Amino acid sequence: MNIDFSTLKKDFPILEREVHPGKQLVYLDSTASTQKPQLVLDAMDEYYQKHNANIHRGVYTISEEATQMYEEAREKVAKFIHAPSRRNVIFTRNATESLNLVAFTWGRAYLKKGDTILLTEMEHHSNIVPWQIIAAEKELKIEFIPVLADGKLDLQAYELMLNKKPKVVSFTHMSNVLGTITPAKRITELAHQAGALVVIDGAQSVPHLPVDITDIDADFLAFSAHKMCGPTGIGALYGKLDILNAMPPFLGGGDMIRKVTFEGFTTSDVPAKFEAGTPAIAEAIGFGAAVDYLNSIGMEEIARHEQEIAKYGLEQLEASGIKVIGPRESRGGVLSFVMDEIHPHDIAQILDSEGIAVRAGHHCAQPLHLKFGLPATTRASFYLYNSKDDVNSLVKGLDKVKQMFDR
């Protein structure tokens, strides 16, 4: 497939906006949340205008239509990650909720006092805090696989840590700060050999890379729609069916039950077992439309394009004397950087005056920043609608930052 990425920006209405007089939006914060193509907006609008009804309950026409659209979206998401069945996919609010679901259901049911959980030093808070909560509750131990100076995982240390027979290995497939792409299949294989359950935070990988969860063979995979051209308020948790069937429910209420009496209840089958209450129906339909959009371009092409832009960006920033943290290869479209003693918030505010949207702070990865001795960084992140022209705009904006601080 030969995609002309320069034409894709027109699919995103917001990218035509001027955010300041004469300053058109240059959006470089897709690691936080991506923009939405018209196709996704139209799909959600059509649901509300023509099919708005609750699902799985009504026997009238528009309810049955809405149910079909919702379950078709689940099928699309399952196929996108090469899951064996749509039943492997549970809709959640976001990747954060997906990770919490695993910690608070599987973790409460199967972890015991003294058990060890392995995480990495590059984790987002969403893959640290839920485990810390359950660890405090059940007196578990958490250990962290080190990150090397070049931003890669210390796999030798990881293999030694597996000798302690951890019960869980939970890690990010791609760092939201360093851009590091971790060797998920190898990490999973080693963890399984040690008898550990494997949980992958795919919030950054699923939107940007071809992900085949069957090939990787992880037990769980969490990701969010809003980071892959879809709406906010919906995400997904992939889980192996035998594990999902053995887990207790996460929330109680409508749709997750088969039968309720005054004495107790029985749950519905997976995935309904984990989807209590009225779900985000329009958002699920938008999620399915986002998958259609990404498939029309091709994930291999998207990954190639982003890595080309990131490589160009890395070269341009370093040529300007700006320090970028993270590896020089095996990385996604994320560039986190520091500029002498200029605070990232000042950098981001000046860039905004030029219409350039970047993120400043610790990016929900405080432990990783502490590891590198940094209170915060500025982060520019790229997606399919970005180009080398956007990188050039960033560099020009950073030149203005230097001028204002006389650097």
Which residues are the active-site residues? 364
Q: Is the peptide bond before 271 cis (omega within 30 degrees of 0)?
A: yes
As a whole number of angstroms, the distance between CA 361 and CA 212 comes to: 32
Q: How far apart are CA 157 and CA 305, in angstroms?
A: 33
The whole-angstrom separation of Cα 340 and Cα 322 is 8
Burial class (CB in 10 A: 0-12, 13-18, 19+), 406: exposed
The answer to whether the CB of 266 falls within 8 A of the CB of 259 is yes
How close are the terminal C-alpha atoms of the chain, in Å? 45
* Structural element, H or E, at residue 266: strand 265-267
Which amino acid, 4?
Answer: D
Query: Coil, helix or strand for 24?
Result: strand
- Cross-strand bridge partners of residue 363: none
Spatial CA neighbour of 384 closest among 335, 332, 324: 332
**Sole residue written with tokens 């699923």:** 206
Using alpha carbons only, give the angle 245, 251, 255 rounded to the nearest 5 degrees.
75
